[in-house]
Amino acid sequence: MALGAQGVQIGTRFITATECIAHINYKKTITELRDTGTRLVDMVRFRIRALHTPLVEKILNSPMDTDAHFNIQAVEKSWIRGDIDSGILPAGEVSGLISNIESAKQIIDEMVGGS
C-alpha cells in the first residue's frame, strides 16, 4: 500500500486461516516452514510452487506422474483430510513468514493495521 498498490492477491496466508477447510496438517506445515521450504514442481502442463514434503522430494528425484498427486481425489485426501503425502500442497515462498493460524479477520486487520 505504501508503494501505491490498490489490491493484493493472497493465497497461502488464507490457507492457514481458521475458517479455511484445509486440514490442520496442511496449515501447520505452512506455519512450520522456513522461506526455503517450498519447491517448484513441474506438472504435465504447468509448474506450481508447493510445500517441500517427502512426496515432493520423491517427485523431484525421480520424475513421475505428477497428475496422479494433483487430481481431485489426491487433493481431497491431502488438502482436506490431512494425508499430506497423498498430494501436492501448493504454497508460496511467503510460507516462511507465516507462523500463526489466525482468523481471516485477524489476518486482514494485521495487514491493514500494519501490526
Ligand X SMILES: Cc1cc2nc3c(=O)[nH]c(=O)nc-3n(C[C@H](O)[C@H](O)[C@H](O)COP(=O)(O)O)c2cc1C
| Binding range to ligand X, per CB under 6 A, among 52-60, 66-74, 86-94, 99-107 | 86-94
Q: Give yes or no for residue 63 binding ligand X (CB under 6 A).
A: no
- Interface with ligand X, residue 12, by CB under 6 A: yes
Question: b or e along 70-98 (b: 16 or more beta carbons within 10 Å of the residue's beta carbon)?
Answer: beeebbebbbeebebebbbbbbbebbeeb
Query: Can residue 9 be called a binding residue for ligand X (CB under 6 A)?
Result: yes
- One-letter amino acid of 11: G
At 66, list the grid cell.
Answer: 505428477
Q: State in angstroms the smallest separation of the CB of 31 from ligand X.
A: 14
Q: Which residues bind ligand X (CB under 6 A)?
A: 9-13, 15, 90-92, 94
